[in-house]
Structure 1
Amino acid sequence: MRTPLHVVVTLLITGFLMVSGCTRVGLAYRHLDIIIPWSVNDYLGMNSTQKRWLDDRLKEHLSWHCTTQVPGYLTWLDRLQHMVETNQVTEPELKAREAEGRLAIEQISRQVTPSAVELLSQLDDKQVQTLQEAFAKDLREHKEEFVDPPLDTQISDRTKRMEKRLSPWIGTLTAAQHQRATDWSVALGEQNQLWVDNRTHWQGLFIAAVQQRKSPGFSQRITPLLQARESFWTPQYRQAYEQTEQAAIRLLVDLMAQSTPDQRQRLIEKIADVREDFANLSCLKATPQG
């Protein structure tokens, strides 16, 4: 499934995460200042003043991110590569890398939230309506894609999405790996419905907060929705998420245990390529290294 959209914050975060999933990090990173304003405009319908303001803020955030956060990504990638090279792709190691990744996202979120809050507070009624309509469209599309199909179709599609994510990194899955991915998808059952229900719940809370953007205390109300989304999860989704996260880790451990030498070598080379692209960012090279 696609990464949940938390309006400006998540657009910014998603932009940074795009870098991790792209084999050409430098190309993706250099164009984030173009991609993100266009994405935000799809949800808010920004005017020219807002666009110029966001462009200036985005440049500041990108500079901060490259000089203070990217060096840590290099270390993270080194750890990941070492895990594969030494055949230590275990549950404890993957959980450690996942926790480090979550912390990196939280740091970005804290950094960009003030800009998001300021932009949201500037919205007029028409822009809020545009945002509300965009959310409604988002939910319709996700329901049609992930919930409306029969359960067996949902399971099959979920398996295909996982294999599509994995194939750039380890190539085509073997028959045993495909069966393991299928078993993983079957075990998740109707998780799609809980995910969409939770998405609907959060978007409702977010729109309600934005509608009170001119009232005192707006920043205090909207900030938790941007920075601590998990605290607003429905109980059903919270339980399902914990199970899903654990299932995903076990899946990756098993797939690596079943991997061929060629798959492992491909993964090592892919990680090294991403690391090289990060290391070659011009903004990082301009930063004095202690």
Structure 2
Amino acid sequence: MSKFRLLLACLGTILLLAGCTSLAYNRLDWLIPWYVDGYVDLTSEQRKLLRNKLTSPLDWHRQEELANYIDILNSIEADLDGEVTAETVRRWADEMFDAAVRVQRSLLAVALEFGTQVSDEQVEEFVVSLWERHEEMEEELRARSYAEYTDDDYDSLVETLQRFLGRLSVEQKAILREASNKLVRFDKAWLDEGRAWLKKMENLLQREAGWQEAIMQAYDARASLRSAEYRAAFEHNMGLVTQAYAEVIGKMSEKQRKKAQNEFDDLRRMLTRLMDDD
């Protein structure tokens, strides 16, 4: 997965909820421990403890973050009534990215607190699982040719817009194809950064004195420590993607505009319902 697709990754926060039933959202305190079990075997008592520790951040998410998602949707919808530029699209991405980071940070705090309740053997199992998944992903991504790389990114760009606009025109797809063909390959820089992050986490998870604070500080500093190569590729690709999205949006048909309106209305209703399910 190429990190230049910040916009796509951040849209995932809202798109995930779009496909999330009230039942699933209301059972996240059970689903998250189940997900963690995919990395490390937890005892029944540990799963119960983790569910209890999730109560506060999940309440915060329902009471505050869902309302923020509605604000983001309202802001995007208002922008669609005027001229949409690359800067407009980048602002959308930044707002959604900030929302995603808030969620990540709240769950990291839970993980660090819960980390005092697991054994050294479980920590080792967790780290091994992280490395295995990273190496599987690395093998898959590095094996791609440049043509496959740009095709994958083109498909992601098209699929995301079609989620909101419906079928794109030949002209709109051509804009996205042209942008995809100009992307610089970014998966190596992203994978290298991920590998460096895992090495840092592996060391900090020796759980020496102050380890929890050290991990949180490392998380907060992670973006500022990325390489010049990473930053340059990221900004180059984001510039291409946001400009392409702005051009495609500028060529929306009336049918696509109505489709977007209906999607936004459905998302707002769904988010409001989840807020009221408390």
TM-score by length of 1: 0.83
> Given residue 37 of structure 2, which amino acid in structure 1 is its aligned partner?
N
Residue 40 of structure 2 corresponds to which residue in structure 1? Answer: 44
Does 2:276 align with 1:285? Answer: yes
Residue 144 of structure 1 corresponds to which residue in structure 2? Answer: 139
Structure 2 matches for 1:74-89, cutoff 5 A? 74-84=70-80, 86-89=81-84
Is the 1:91–1:249 Cα contact (8 Å) retained in structure 2? yes
Residue 186 of structure 1 corresponds to which residue in structure 2? Answer: 181
> C-alpha offsets along residues 41-90 of structure 1, whole Å, 9 cap, x if unaligned?
21232222221111012222111111122222222211111222x14322
**SS at 2:32's partner residue?**
helix
Is the 1:167–1:173 Cα contact (8 Å) retained in structure 2? yes
Greater RCO, CA 8 A, separation 6+: 2
Residue 35 of structure 1 corresponds to which residue in structure 2? Answer: 31
> C-alpha offsets along residues 132-151 of structure 1, whole Å, 9 cap, x if unaligned?
22222222332233221211
Does 2:259 align with 1:266? Answer: yes
Compared CA separation, residues 73 and 40, structure 1 to 2 (3 A): same
> Given residue 271 of structure 2, which amino acid in structure 1 is its aligned partner?
F
Paired residue for 2:210, among 217, 237, 240? 217
CA distance in 1 between partners of 2:256 and 2:21 (Å): 22
> C-alpha offsets along residues 68-123 of structure 1, whole Å, 9 cap, x if unaligned?
22222222211111222x14322333233333223323433443333221223433
Does 2:150 align with 1:155? Answer: yes
**SS at 1:42's partner residue?**
coil
Compared CA separation, residues 185 and 73, structure 1 to 2 (3 A): same
Paired residue for 1:240, among 229, 233, 244? 233
Residue 58 of structure 2 corresponds to which residue in structure 1? Answer: 62
1:252: Cα distance to partner? Answer: 1.2
After superposition, the CA RMSD in angstroms is: 2.6
Is the 1:25–1:278 Cα contact (8 Å) retained in structure 2? no
> Given residue 267 of structure 1, which amino acid in structure 2 is its aligned partner?
A
Residue 9 of structure 1 corresponds to which residue in structure 2? Answer: none
Compared CA separation, residues 122 and 237, structure 1 to 2 (3 A): farther
CA distance in 2 between partners of 1:227 and 1:109 (Å): 11
Is the 1:169–1:267 Cα contact (8 Å) retained in structure 2? yes
CA distance in 2 between partners of 1:224 and 1:25 (Å): 35
Is the 2:40–2:126 Cα contact (8 Å) retained in structure 1? yes
Identity, in percent, stands at 22
